[in-house]
């Protein structure tokens, strides 16, 4: 267990250095907000950088990329507000540690459950805009746009199939283990 803790700390330090070396600053959370996993910060920054680059492509690729960028920013704001923060609890929950100070995640998990239809619709929109970007890239023979569109759909599926259900399970776990949450 001790080895795992050092590994996690080393990875977090490496990620923080990597994010800093790319010129990205992880925005410190407001007092009412909670952190999100470092891996997702890096992923979002990479997506934003690649998509912004695609907006400078000519023709339909640039046009579709601009649509995708607006949608990505809105989706990312929602994720950072209440979908991704509970995921920071996963290492502790996996280790069997549940403490009363984790109760903040219940509100977020409940909101994910309540907003599920809206979030699912957002994923449909992401798929549609990525399909349009892929098609524009295909017509323009723009492999970069096509590759990005494929990865954008995969990321959206990852959110739907894994991340959002994990948040719901975190809420269920906390509710069952915290006496005050029952």
Angle at 14 between CA 73 and CA 74, to 5 degrees: 5
Q: Which residue has the higher pLDDT, 179 or 17?
A: 179
What mean pLDDT comes out for the span 20-34? 47
Domain ranges across the chain: 36-181
Q: What is the predicted pLDDT for the residue at 26?
A: 43
* Mean pLDDT, residues 167-176 taken together: 97
Give tens-digit pLDDT for 57-83: 999 999 999 999 999 999 999 999 999
Q: What is the pLDDT of residue 47?
A: 95
Q: Tell me how far apart the alpha carbons of residues 180 and 169 are, in angstroms, rounded to a whole number.
A: 18
pLDDT tens for 103-146 read 999 999 999 999 999 999 999 999 999 999 999 999 999 999 99
């Amino acid at each position: 267990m001790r080895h795992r803790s050092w590994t996690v700390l080393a990875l977090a330090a490496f990620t923080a250095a990597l994010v800093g070396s790319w010129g990205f600053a992880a925005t410190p959370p407001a007092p009412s907000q909670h952190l999100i996993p470092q891996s997702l910060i890096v992923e979002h920054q990479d997506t934003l950088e690649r998509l912004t680059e695609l907006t400078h492509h000519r023709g339909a690729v640039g046009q579709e990329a601009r649509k995708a960028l607006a949608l990505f920013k809105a989706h990312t704001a929602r994720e950072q507000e209440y979908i991704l923060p509970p995921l920071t609890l996963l290492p502790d929950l996996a280790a069997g540690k549940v403490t009363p100070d984790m109760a903040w995640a219940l509100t977020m998990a409940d909101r994910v459950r309540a907003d599920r239809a809206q979030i699912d619709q957002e994923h449909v929109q992401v798929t549609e805009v990525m399909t349009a970007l892929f098609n524009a890239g295909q017509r323009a023979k723009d492999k970069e746009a096509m590759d990005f569109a494929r990865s954008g759909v995969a990321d959206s599926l990852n959110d739907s199939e894994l991340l959002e259900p994990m948040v719901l399970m975190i809420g269920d776990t906390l509710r069952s283990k915290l006496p005050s949450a029952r």
